[in-house]
Amino acid sequence: MTTSVADRLTTRTLVVLAAALALAATAAGRLDAALQDRTATTSTMFACGGPEVLTLTLRMEGDTVEIVKRTDWVAGQSEGMPPAMVPKFRTTDDCKPIDNGTRLLVTSSSDGLAIVERATGKTEFYATVPNAHSAEILPGGRVVAAASTSPTGNRLILFDRTKSDVELFTTPLVSAHGTHWVEEERTLWALGLTELRAYELADWQSATPSLKLRKTFRLPSRGGHDLSPVPGTPQFVVTTVEEVLIFDRRTGEFTRHPEIGSLVDVKSVSIHPATGRTAFTMADPPNWWTHTVRFLGPDATLTFSTDRLYKVRWLP
């Protein structure tokens, strides 16, 4: 059989057209994927509550949040953690990223405080803090920890991060639960049972540093629990047993959170500084812990089958 020039041209045209359509479909698929990626974000979150501190890589798209990767830090597997300290991390309750995210500041209601290098999981600093509920890095390599309700607690404790388990200074604060340093104000804020306090650093260059109480703000409701910043603003999110509040450092006034203000037993609130996405945890009655991380903007949930969660923190 022979084919004419016209037939060959027609065949060639069909092949070229098919290739063009395939190319267009591929390009359209890539564009569609690119558009989807523009609506999706990937962020790192830290979560704690049990003996594990979780590092979670999350992919978020609309009301869908999924775990892309998970790694756990456990005190008993950490180089540099003395065996006698391991039981003091049975119930971790805060896990703040510090040092530009290269380390974690971990506290435990089982009486533990640690600074952990993320890349290796190594413990670089540790201390016994009764019913520890929060900690913060201060200038000059100092660390402040909030020791909550305990026969030897109800106070703030200062340490030097180069000297494990050596107290430098302590000052009373009933049911100490939250700490946050504001560099531009040179102020340490600390949350207790009924008060939010502002402290200034005293004798900081000496071997005997201390905290000097500057101002006290009465909470609208009892049971101060979590203290976290609203990025880029002079505000904090403050949780109590009864409600979730916004505190304005300029005016000294508390107002209810516009979305979750009426929720009770909210254990932590963390706002991502880049995306503005809010993550929070609230106890599942009658427990002090939860299996669920909740999100705002847009609303979403992330549920864990077995992990007991207490607080969550975004990696800035």
pLDDT digits (tens, 9 = 90+) for 233-274: 999 999 999 999 999 999 999 999 999 999 999 999 999 999
Tens-digit pLDDT profile for residues 36-73: 333 578 999 999 999 999 999 999 998 999 999 999 99
| Contact call for residues 120 and 104 (beta carbons, < 8 A) | no
Q: How many CB atoms lie within 10 A of CB 194?
A: 16
- Give 55-69 as a DSSP string: EEEEEEETTEEEEEE
Q: How many CB atoms lie within 10 A of CB 251?
A: 10
DSSP code of residue 290: B
Domains of the chain and CATH, by start: 42-314 (2.130.10.10)
- Give 48-104 as a DSSP string: EESSEEEEEEEEEETTEEEEEEEEEEEGGG-TT--GGGGGGGSSEEEEEEETTTTEE
- For residues 223 and 193, give the distance between their C-alpha atoms in angstroms, rounded to a whole number: 5
Structure pTM? 0.87
- For residues 210 and 206, give the distance between their C-alpha atoms in angstroms, rounded to a whole number: 9
| Contact call for residues 97 and 315 (beta carbons, < 8 A) | yes
